[in-house]
Amino acid sequence: MKVVLFCGGLGMRLREHSETVPKPMVTIGYRPILWHVMKYYAHYGHKDFILCLGHKANVLKHYFLNYDECVSNDFIYSQGGKKLELLAHDIQDWNITFVDTGLHAKIGQRLRAARKYLEGEEMFLANYSDGLSDLILPEMIRDFQKRDAIAAFVGVRPNATFHLVEYDGNGLVKDIRHVTECHHRINGGFFVFRREIFDYLKEGEDLVQQPFQRLIAAKKLIAYTHDGFWGCMDTVKEMQQLEDMYSQGRAPWEVWKSH
């Protein structure tokens, strides 16, 4: 099953990094977060990727054109460097399509631009490329296949330090709770689509706003609850949290190691 990855955003809340590299290329450990996302999908057998490029597309292209397997794999160095024997591989069986989808395009338009590369696909996966999870992807896909739905996303608990407040029309507070203690869910950015999604997505639209409202009205949109790990690199603080987890050897999104 092909995987569409949205890699073209400006990443304004990571400005100090996104001015030099696009957000998906901000690193966690030795590799950019995009690599971690792709490695996650590849672990579950989905190795055919479509990268929807935009902001600093050249950085992503050069990264893969000059990819060094030795950075994240064991190898044997001999003959003074004349011979390198890799003991494992990352991406040799990945197929990556690089698509320029516009500098300021919305997510929906990036998906429309990738449509021609999805010919023949009854179903496909998609991801915002800035979130990591230990979601058991095959379970989500199997559930989706049984349902009469066109789109599904992962519903996760907000990873934030805010409090939700409930109050009446006079401002009298009725309840205040930490966001993680509430029953609210947010879109975790892991999607499964049937090709009919393009019937609900019009020119100039974002993915979630208008198309998802149409899917809701048609009862064709479902959310898959995930209570395990989910983390997003949307701010510098969140980036540091993911980096700290990785450096301390507790990176639950590395499902390829846990198995």
Is pLDDT at 2 greater than 90 in this prediction?
A: yes
What is the rounded CA–CA span in Å between residue 124 and residue 64?
23
Nearest Cα residue to 197 out of 143, 104, 121, 140: 121
What DSSP state is assigned to residue 115?
G
Whole-number pLDDT of residue 259: 53
Is residue 233 situated within a structural domain? Answer: yes
What is the rounded CA–CA span in Å between residue 242 and residue 198?
34
Is residue 146 situated within a structural domain? Answer: yes
Indicate the pTM of the whole model: 0.89
What is the rounded CA–CA span in Å between residue 62 and residue 64?
5
Q: Looking at per-residue confidence, does 16 or 126 come out higher?
A: 126
Q: How many domains does the chain have?
A: 1
Is residue 241 situated within a structural domain? Answer: yes
Is residue 245 situated within a structural domain? Answer: yes
Is residue 169 situated within a structural domain? Answer: no
Whole-number pLDDT of residue 64: 94
Residue 18, domain extent: 3-71+89-154+186-258
Which residues are registered as beta bridge partners of 223? Answer: 153
What is the rounded CA–CA span in Å between residue 106 and residue 201?
12
Whole-number pLDDT of residue 108: 95
What is the rounded CA–CA span in Å between residue 140 and residue 144?
6
Is residue 181 situated within a structural domain? Answer: no
What does the radius of gyration of the chain's CA atoms come to, in whole angstroms? 20
Please report, for the domain that includes residue 115, its CATH number. 3.90.550.10
Is pLDDT at 179 greater than 80 in this prediction?
A: no
> Quick one: average pLDDT of 231-258?
92
Is residue 242 situated within a structural domain? Answer: yes
Helix (H, G, I), strand (E, B) or coil at 7: coil
Whole-number pLDDT of residue 16: 56
Q: pLDDT of 136-154, one tens digit each? A: 999 999 999 999 999 999 9
Is residue 79 situated within a structural domain? Answer: no
Whole-number pLDDT of residue 80: 80
> Quick one: average pLDDT of 205-223?
95
Determine the residue type at 47.
K
What is the rounded CA–CA span in Å between residue 113 and residue 4?
11
Is pLDDT at 171 greater than 90 in this prediction?
A: no
What is the rounded CA–CA span in Å between residue 23 and residue 180?
26
Terminal C-alpha separation, the chain: 21
Whole-number pLDDT of residue 20: 72
Whole-number pLDDT of residue 17: 56
CB 88 within 8 Å of CB 177: no
Q: How far is CA 5 from CA 2, 129, 191, 199, 204, in A?
A: 10, 6, 10, 20, 19
| Interstrand relation of 83-86 and 131-133 (parallel, antiparallel or unpaired) | unpaired
